[in-house]
Amino acid sequence: MSYTLPEFLAHALALEQEAAERYLELADMMEAHRNDPVSAVFRDMHRFSLMHHEEIRKRVGDIELPQLKSWQYRWSSPPEKGGEEAFDYMLETYNALRYARENELRGMEYYSSVAAEAGDPELARLAREFANEETEHVAALDDWIARTPRPSTTWEEDPDPLPPSG
C-alpha cells in the first residue's frame, strides 16, 4: 500500500483531533476521580495534540484533503467493553493510561508504516517526524503506567475480559 501526501495529512489531522478530544475526556474523568497528577498528564497530551493539529493544518494550506472513514482514525475502546461499563472501567487510572497508550501506539504504527513505504521523500520525512513524536508520547505514558498500581481487572492479560457483575 502506498500513501499520498493529501491522504497522509487528512489522517494526521483526524488522528490529532481525535486524540485531543479523547485526552480532554480522560483529563476530566481523572479530575472527577481526584487524580490530579494523571489529569495533568492528559491535559498536557490534549495541548500537544491541539498544537500538532494546528501545525498540520498550516502544512495542509490549500491542499485538498480526501474524506476519511471514522474507523480510520477513531480511538478503539477496550475490547468487550461498552457503554457505562467502559466508563467505570476507565476510571481506573491504570486502564485509562493503557487505553491512551494503545491508541498512541496505533498512531505511531500508522506514521511509521507511511514513513517506511512512502515514495515521496517529503512525505517520508513528515511521517518519520510524526512517528518520533508519537514514540515520545508512548514513552511518557509508559513511565506513568510503570508508576501506577495495577487494578484487579485489566483488559489485556485478563483471561476473562468481562467486568465483574453486580
User: By the criterion CB under 5 A, which residues form the site for Zn ion?
Assistant: 104, 134, 137
18 or 92: CB nearest Zn ion: 18
77 or 135: CB nearest Zn ion: 135
**What is the nearest approach in angstroms of Zn ion to the Cβ of residue 148?**
19
Q: What is the dihedral of CA 19, 35, 149, 84, to 10 degrees?
A: -60
- Give the C-alpha separation, 152 to 122, whole Å: 46
**What is the nearest approach in angstroms of Zn ion to the Cβ of residue 67?**
23
**What is the nearest approach in angstroms of Zn ion to the Cβ of residue 159?**
30
16 or 92: CB nearest Zn ion: 16
- Give the C-alpha separation, 114 to 131, whole Å: 9
3-state secondary structure of 51: helix
Q: Which residue is nearest to Zn ion (CB)?
A: 137
Residue found under cell 461499563: 85
Amino acid at 36: D
